[in-house]
Amino acid sequence: MKLDQNAKYQESHEWVRQEGELIVCGISDHAQESLSDVVYVEFPEVGDSFSQGETFGVVESVKAASDLYMPMGGEIVAVNEALEDEPELVNSDPYGAGWMIKFKPAALEEWDSLLSPADYQQVAEAEE
């Protein structure tokens, strides 16, 4: 299982990383591997606001469809449109080209409530 050491995680397998004033979010390597081939990602609209824990989209693979949950509250400023044509980027590069949304966080302190890479690794390994 690959981990991005600069990211934080939550138990539902999303990761977040700080980029300037924005937060980038995607799903973990462990998540993409469990889902197998991703065929579709349903995005929110730019400008939509969500609180921590709310559903912002759906990731669909040949095996399953799973809701995506906001690791932190915030307003969507960008979605990764490249995934519309190449959803497989979620599988090949989950922490890079396979990112899903960027949002402006409503409360930065929510960052502290998330799991460190090491803690998340334990959660993910316990699932296997």
Partner 1 sequence: MSYVANTANDQQAMLAAIGVDTVEALFEVVPQAVRFPTLELPRSLSEIEVLAEMGRLADENAEANHYSWFLGAGAYNHFVPSVVPQLQMRAEFYTAYTPYQPEASQGTLQAIFEYQSMVAELTGMGVVNASHYDGSTSLAEAAIMSVNSTKGKRTKILVSPNVHPQYREVLKTYLQGTDLRVEGDEEPANDLAALTGMLDKETACLIVQSPNFFGELEDLEGLAERVHGAGALLVIHTDPISLGLFKPPGAYGADIVTGEGQSLGNNLNFGGPYLGIFATTDKLVRKMPGRVVGQTVDTAGKRGFVLTLSTREQHIRREKATSNICTNQGLIALGAAIYLAALGKQGLRQVAELCYHKAHYAAAEIDRLAGYEVVKRRPFFKEFVVKCPKPAGEIARQLTEQQILPGYVLSRSYPERSHELLVCVTEMNSKAQIDQLVRALKEVA
Of 56 and 99, the one with the shorter C-beta distance to partner 1 is: 56
CB of 64 vs partner 1, minimal distance in Å: 7
- CA distances for 45 relative to 56, 91, 100, 102, angstroms: 9, 23, 12, 11
Q: How far apart are CA 121 and CA 2, in angstroms?
A: 9
Q: Is 65 in the site for partner 1 (CB under 8 A)?
A: yes
CB of 7 vs partner 1, minimal distance in Å: 27
Q: Is 119 in the site for partner 1 (CB under 8 A)?
A: no
What are the phi and psi torsion angles at 61 (to 5°)? -120, 180
Q: Is 46 in the site for partner 1 (CB under 8 A)?
A: no
Give me the count of residues in the chain: 128
Q: Which amino acid is at 108?
A: L
Q: Which stretch binds partner 1 (CB under 8 A): 39-47, 86-94, 98-106, 117-125?
A: 39-47
Q: Is 67 in the site for partner 1 (CB under 8 A)?
A: yes
Q: Which stretch binds partner 1 (CB under 8 A): 7-15, 23-31, 64-72, 98-106?
A: 64-72
- CA distances for 21 relative to 17, 106, 113, angstroms: 11, 11, 18
Q: Which residues bind partner 1 (CB under 8 A)?
A: 40, 42, 44-45, 60, 64-65, 67
